[in-house]
Amino acid sequence: MKKNGTKQEVNLINLVERYHDEDNCRAYLEELRWPDGVICPRCQSKSISRVEKLHIFDCNSCRYQFSVTSGTIFHDSHLPLWKWFATMYLMIESKKGISANQVKRTIGVSYKTAWYLCHRIRSAMSDGTPNLLKGIVEVDETLVGGKRKNVGHGFKGNKTIVIGASQRGGETRLQVIDSVDRKALHQFIKENIAPDTEAIYTDEWPAYQGIADEDTRHETVNHSAEEWVRGDVHTNSVEGIWSLLKRSIVGSYHKVSVKHLDAYLNELEWRFNNRSNEHLFRDTLLKLIASSNLEYRELISGRA
Ligand SMILES: [Zn+2]
């Protein structure tokens, strides 16, 4: 993977300088949430009184009292905002992700708190309705977890299948799928790649057959015959993501349960697709503001 040369507007130094105290964090959230002045979340009135001491706003029209965190992921959190900011920073800054154990040690919270915090931030990172990929798109699958070595398309064992699509020079989409049969692969391609995309590159797995049409080429490289690159036909971009994913799981998360794998994939996707975004800190915070609170019991029941 190429080294990321983007200069982030937030680094560890100014993270500490700017957001070490609650008032600064709150002021930044306010600026992001209401760039044109505070608006009542209930009646949209802009006539607001500020109750400075209590950090609340009083709506002059409907009398609703609210704070900058009302209705956001931060609401009802007992954690100081700077711990949220610091954890979010650690998550977007570490290319391979960061484990709940590391967060626990770094910001001084219990493991359970760290785990829940990471999951809430992760769930906010998932892109709402992402654009369809276009141009030249590589598609490939890989097996994650379990004990058996990858023994080819036909054998899954206790591993989980992850499919990915990478637009050349663009974004990547990742997803857990149940099988590598034609139906599953074609459905993933349909949901993630523009119908008139120029070309789709895959390996020779027969279930990919039929994805070409009059405005989309389908080219394959024959991995079983040791053919990895033919001209510009290869799946090296998406395979780079697989090595990143595997290093994340081995290096940072250690053990990722299947029910949470999609969430980890979202996190990786978000970080990877924003690798050139120097406003990643701000943009992730905007995601958190827009995300409502994810209940702990929802998380552990695996519905989220
Ligand atoms: Zn109001």
CA of residue 289 to ligand 1 center, whole Å: 19
- The pLDDT of residue 300 is 57
In the predicted structure, residue 10 carries a pLDDT above the cut 90:
no
Query: What is the arithmetic mean of pLDDT over 8-22?
Result: 88
CA distance 298 to 296: 5
CA of residue 59 to ligand 1 center, whole Å: 5
- The pLDDT of residue 59 is 96
Which has the higher per-residue pLDDT, 33 or 223? 33
In the predicted structure, residue 253 carries a pLDDT above the cut 70:
no
CA of residue 53 to ligand 1 center, whole Å: 20
In the predicted structure, residue 281 carries a pLDDT above the cut 80:
yes
CA of residue 47 to ligand 1 center, whole Å: 8
CA distance 204 to 219: 9
- The pLDDT of residue 268 is 92
Query: What is the arithmetic mean of pLDDT over 144-167?
Result: 74
CA of residue 43 to ligand 1 center, whole Å: 4
CA of residue 245 to ligand 1 center, whole Å: 46
| Contact assessment for residue 120 and residue 293, using Cβ atoms and an 8 Å cutoff | yes
pLDDT band at 2 (very low <50, low <70, confident <90, very high): very low
CA of residue 32 to ligand 1 center, whole Å: 20
Residue 15: what are its φ and ψ, rounded to 5°?
-60, -45
Structure token digits, residue 256? 């990722």
CA distance 288 to 270: 13
CA of residue 72 to ligand 1 center, whole Å: 17
CA of residue 44 to ligand 1 center, whole Å: 6
pLDDT band at 296 (very low <50, low <70, confident <90, very high): low
Burial (Cβ within 10 Å: 0-12, 13-18, ≥19) of residue 201: buried
- The pLDDT of residue 146 is 64
- The pLDDT of residue 259 is 76
Among the residue ranges 4-18, 225-239, 248-262, the one predicted with the least confidence is 248-262
CA of residue 89 to ligand 1 center, whole Å: 33
Bridge-based pairing of strands 136-144 and 65-66 is unpaired
Query: What is the arithmetic mean of pLDDT over 270-285?
Result: 93
- The pLDDT of residue 78 is 85
pLDDT band at 8 (very low <50, low <70, confident <90, very high): confident
CA distance 32 to 205: 47
- The pLDDT of residue 133 is 97
| Percent of the chain residues topping a pLDDT of 90 | 62
In the predicted structure, residue 150 carries a pLDDT above the cut 60:
no
In the predicted structure, residue 240 carries a pLDDT above the cut 70:
yes
In the predicted structure, residue 181 carries a pLDDT above the cut 90:
yes
DSSP label of 230? B
Which has the higher per-residue pLDDT, 156 or 276? 276
CA of residue 37 to ligand 1 center, whole Å: 14
Which has the higher per-residue pLDDT, 153 or 288? 288
In the predicted structure, residue 62 carries a pLDDT above the cut 50:
yes
Q: Report how far apart the first and last C-alpha atoms of the chain are (Å, whole number).
A: 30
Mean pLDDT across the chain: 87
Q: Of 82, 108, 238, give the one whose Cα is nearest residue 173.
A: 238
Extended strands (E) in the chain? 48-51, 56-59, 65-66, 136-144, 160-167, 172-177, 199-203, 217-221
CA of residue 35 to ligand 1 center, whole Å: 18
Query: What is the arithmetic mean of pLDDT over 242-247?
Result: 89
- The pLDDT of residue 294 is 54
CA of residue 204 to ligand 1 center, whole Å: 60
In the predicted structure, residue 211 carries a pLDDT above the cut 50:
yes
pLDDT band at 194 (very low <50, low <70, confident <90, very high): very high
Residues 6+ apart with CB under 8 A from 53: none
pLDDT band at 158 (very low <50, low <70, confident <90, very high): confident
CA of residue 290 to ligand 1 center, whole Å: 19
In the predicted structure, residue 4 carries a pLDDT above the cut 70:
no
CA distance 284 to 304: 19
CA of residue 201 to ligand 1 center, whole Å: 54
| Contact assessment for residue 214 and residue 299, using Cβ atoms and an 8 Å cutoff | no
